[in-house]
Structure 1
Amino acid sequence: MKRGSAFLLTGIFMLINVAAMAQCSLCTKTAQQLGEGPAKGLNNGILMLALTPLVIIGFLAFRWWRSNREA
């Protein structure tokens, strides 16, 4: 039960923290030159690119956890 609650809580925190600033110093400088609208688009693009590997790693970790639990 505790593990299920931990996964649920982690998922909720990940959904709440969507407005994170995910820019390195070079991207921040470029975004400042572009203006506010394109800067938000750049930030969203960076977050979308970061999401794919995190989902894949999470899926693999879940499969590994499930296979070790059943064995």
Structure 2
Amino acid sequence: MKKIFFLLMTAALLLPGSQMMAQCSLCTKTAQQLGEGPAKGLNNGILMLAAAPLALGLFLGFRWWRSQRAQ
């Protein structure tokens, strides 16, 4: 069941039709004024900046889960 859930979540994130919006309301207003190209660049930059802390949190959570399971 966990493998199926993981595969579905991975597919949902990688499909070209799924558009992730990572902007707050203030950033959205600014991006709308800049145009389509800069808005996409701003959104991609926000997603890239969020990736490192999320990956670190997932890694630490996995290590904690594995150490707790071993006990």
TM exceeds 0.5?
yes
1:16 maps onto 2:6 in alignment: no
Q: Partner residue of 2:40?
A: 40
Rounded Cα–Cα distance in structure 2 between residues aligned with 1:39 and 1:67: 42
Question: What is the identity percentage for the equivalent residue pairs of Structure 1 and Structure 2?
Answer: 61
Gaps of 5+ in 2: none
Q: Partner residue of 2:61?
A: 61
Q: TM-score w.r.t. structure 1 length?
A: 0.79
Call closer, same or farther: CA 1:54–1:14 in 2, change over 3 Å. Answer: farther
After TM superposition, which residue ranges in structure 1, 4 or more long, deviate above 4 angstroms?
A: none
Q: Partner residue of 2:30?
A: 30
Q: Partner residue of 1:52?
A: 52
RMSD after superposition:
2.0
Q: Which has the higher helix share?
A: 1
AA aligned to 2:9 is F
How many residues matched?
67
Deviations 1:7-65 (A, max 9, x none): x6246415523621110011001101110011001000111111111110000000000
